[in-house]
Every structure is written in C-alpha cells, then in structure tokens.
Amino acid sequence: MQASLLTLLFAAALLASLAVKFWLASRQMRHVARHRDAVPADFAATVPLAAHQRAADYTLARGRFGLLSTAFSTALLLGWTLLGGLDALNELVRDAVYPRFGGLAYQLALLAAFALIGGALELPFDLYNTFRIEQRFGFNRMTWRMAVGDMVKGVLVGAVIGLPLAALILWIMAAAGSLWWLWAWAAWTAFQLLILVLYPTVIAPLFNKFEPLPDESLKARVQALMARCGFAAKGLFVMDGSRRSAHANAYFTGLGAAKRVVFFDTLLAKLTPGEVEAVLAHELGHFKHRHVQKRMAVMFALSLAGLALLGWLSSQVWFYTGLGVQPNMGAPNDALALLLLMLALPPFTFLLGPLAARSSRRHEFEADAYACAQADGRDLASALLKLHEDNASTLTPDPVYVRFYYSHPPASERLAALRLHAA
C-alpha cells in the first residue's frame, strides 16, 4: 500500500512540476516576444533597439531549447525510476562486481556507472547549447578540442574527489549505526569546506589561467575599496574567461586566508575602472552582509535534513519498490538508496524554488545598496546596463517567471532601486 502511494505521489509531483515548468516557460517566451519590437521607456535613451531585439531572440532561443531539455530530463527521470532503468543498472552492476569484489566496490561502481550514463545522455544537450545557441549569438569561444579536454578533466577530477568521498560516506552508512546520517553529514560538511579552500589554487587552474591583475592604477583603486570595506584577500586575479565565452563576471572564491578576487578578462575589457570598482563593491556587499555564510548555513541545514530523511527511508522496502527498484537481498543498499533519494527529491521540492530565488534577490538589493555607499551608484547602474546588453539579458521578462526563477532582480527593478539610493 505504501509503495503504491509513493508511486502515485511521485508520478503526480513529476507531472505537476513538468506542467508548471512548461507554463512558466511559455509565459516568459510570450511576454518577451510581445515586447520585442520596442525598448522599454526607462531604457530607450541607453539601449539600442537592435541590442534589445538580440536579447529577446536569445531569450526565446534558450526558452525553446529549455522546453526540449526539460521534457527530456523528465522522461529520463521517469526512465530511471518507475520504468526500471536504475533497477536494471543495479542488477547488471551488482551481478558483475559484488560476487568478486565485495559490497563497497559494487556500490562505488553503481554510483560511477550512473554518473557516466547520465552525463553521456545529457551531453548532446550541453554541446548543442554551446555550439549552436551560444555560437549563434556570439558568446561561444570554445573549440571542440577544448570541450573534449574539459570533459576529460571533469571526469578525472570527479573521480579523484568524488570516489573517495563516496567511499567514506558509504563506509559511514555501514559502520556508524542508526545515527550514521549525523556522522555522514559531518563528513560532507568538512568536505565542502575543504573544497572551498582547495578550489582556487588546485581545481580552478586546471580549467582556466589566473594571472595577477596587471593594471596598477585599477589594482590600487580596488585595494583601497577593499581596505574601506574591511575585506582581506590573498590576491587579485584576472581569469581568461574569453577563451570559452564572451560572458563577463567577477567573483570571490575561497575561504579564510585562501580568499581571492577574480575578474573575467571580458569584464575588464567592457567596463571602465569606476564601473569595475562599483561591481566589486557590490560583491563586497555580499561579504559585508554575510550572504555567503547564510547560504552555506542553509545548504548545510538542508543536507542534514536530507541525510536524516535518507536514514529513515533507506530501511523502508516501500521506498525502493515505490520508485521502481527492487532492493538487494544479499548486497548492501546504501548506494541505491542515495541514488533514489537524489532522483526522487526534485519533483517534491520544486515548488520551494521561489523561496530561494526571493531570498537571493533580496541579497542582491542589499549588495547594491552597499555598493552605492562605497562607490558611485551611477557607475554601478551603467555597468549593469553594459552587462545586460553584452550578455543579451532581456529587459522585459515575465513578472511571474521572475518571481519563480530569477536569483537576481530584473534590470528595471535594480536600476529603480539604484536611483532611489542616488536621490
């Protein structure tokens, strides 16, 4: 009875989330298309019609592709679960590995096989997005050789980092008793913090080159800003983002003494020194308001809740059978339970997305306000306009779509708030 109820609830949640995604995407595309031929009045003096139409076309192209990608992902999720894909994979890997190499090797092989197959099935969509959509609108600078190299590096880094972590978690699940999920959470949290320290100096340089900021005048300006804001960083670096994309960005990375400020070379090429300072002041606003720490705390709390839930569900036979999998009789089920929870949760938690998006938008407004206090708000406004135009971000998104998905406020709302701060 419980298995049948779970099957029904999962199918209903999956279909409901698909319907909402399609409805939201359709609203967004209709709204953008309806406003394609006229620049909004607030931007008429600063944004050319051609740039506005390019942004609309880019949004529509990504929207149509998103519909196809969403439909495929939903079908794939259904295939892995209720249609028996994960059950078949588990049986194949278990019979091939478990009798000869034991439970841990079998479970690691199952996780690796699932990741590789899932990645291979999603790969055509990633390549189409990069080499057709991004290429069509002038953003892609990747070559096929670079794409293959990134994929190989990604698999190797995932294996070197992911397999030992998975082995540790699986060992804890088997050895730590009924409260294994608490110990597993501690290990996962420690791993996340370690990655924050290692990423800037060990992982990121595998994919991009980082050079010290060469512009001494800009460097002095940025250091003065950071001194005013009480922010210490290990260095200021320029990343060769232009090798892969024309999109621009700046960010902080690392933890504690390993913190770095990173500018995309594309950002420095497009913005004036004052605008760069204002964008960095915005990022420092996130630091000042402890947004990163707050988001990390939420992430750690959710991971604790998820592992506690898994601690209960992994011992329930109906959890497996209700999602299309027969639990192992003589072999451990820990990896199987991990995969099932990872697959089953998104349809049930989909409607929580707007809460996270709303919190993120509030953080962006707070960071903008801080930037206006530490730098010139007019520079931040002009930088935002340049980045919106260069990234082909639509100026006319659908309001409902914004409330559901946007982690950053739309340009019209941000600029209106900036004008209030400047008044």
| pLDDT tens per residue across span 374-383 | 988 899 999 8
Nearest to 14 by CA among 71, 99, 69, 84: 71
* Phi and psi at residue 238, to the nearest 5°: -110, 125
Establish whether 91 is a catalytic residue: no
Binding-site positions for Zn(2+): 282, 286, 364
Contacts of 67 (CB under 8 A, 6+ apart): 22, 25
368, 379, 390, 398: which is the annotated catalytic residue?
368
Measured distance CA(361)–CA(365) in Å, rounded: 6
What's the confidence (pLDDT) of residue 253?
74
Establish whether 277 is a catalytic residue: no
User: Per-residue pLDDT for 154 more than 80?
Assistant: yes
What's the confidence (pLDDT) of residue 254?
67
What's the confidence (pLDDT) of residue 258?
62
Please state, rounded to an integer, the average pLDDT across all residues of the chain: 91
DSSP-derived pairing of the beta strands 210-212 and 260-264: unpaired
Percent of the residues in the chain that have a pLDDT greater than 90, as a whole number: 61
- pLDDT tens for residues 255-266? 666 677 888 888
- pLDDT tens for residues 44-69? 888 899 999 999 999 999 999 999 99
User: Per-residue pLDDT for 420 more than 80?
Assistant: yes
Segment 186-190 long-range contacts (CB within 8 Å, at least 24 positions apart): 188/303, 188/307, 189/300, 189/303
User: Per-residue pLDDT for 338 more than 80?
Assistant: yes
Please state the three-class secondary structure of the chain as a single string: CHHHHHHHHHHHHHHHHHHHHHHHHHHHHHHHHHCCCCCCHHHCCCCCHHHHHHHHHHHHHHHHHHHHHHHHHHHHHHHHCCCCHHHHHHHHHHHHHHHHHCHHHHHHHHHHHHHHHHHHHHHHHHHHHHHHHHHHCCCECCCHHHHHHHHHHHHHHHHHHHHHHHHHHHHHHHHCHHHHHHHHHHHHHHHHHHHHHHHHHHHHHHCCCEEECCCHHHHHHHHHHHHHHCCCCCCEEEECHHHCECCCCEEEECCHHHCEEEEEHHHHHHCCHHHHHHHHHHHHHHHHCCHHHHHHHHHHHHHHHHHHHHHHHCCCHHHHHCCCCCCCCCCCCHHHHHHHHHHHHHHHHHHHHHHHHHHHHHHHHHHHHHHHHHCCHHHHHHHHHHHHHHCCCCCCCCHHHHHHHCCCCCHHHHHHHHHHHHC
What's the confidence (pLDDT) of residue 249?
76
110: number of Cβ within 10 Å: 25
- pLDDT tens for residues 84-123? 999 999 999 999 999 999 999 999 999 999 999 999 999 9
pLDDT band at 370 (very low <50, low <70, confident <90, very high): very high
pTM: 0.90
What's the confidence (pLDDT) of residue 266?
83
User: Per-residue pLDDT for 34 more than 90?
Assistant: yes
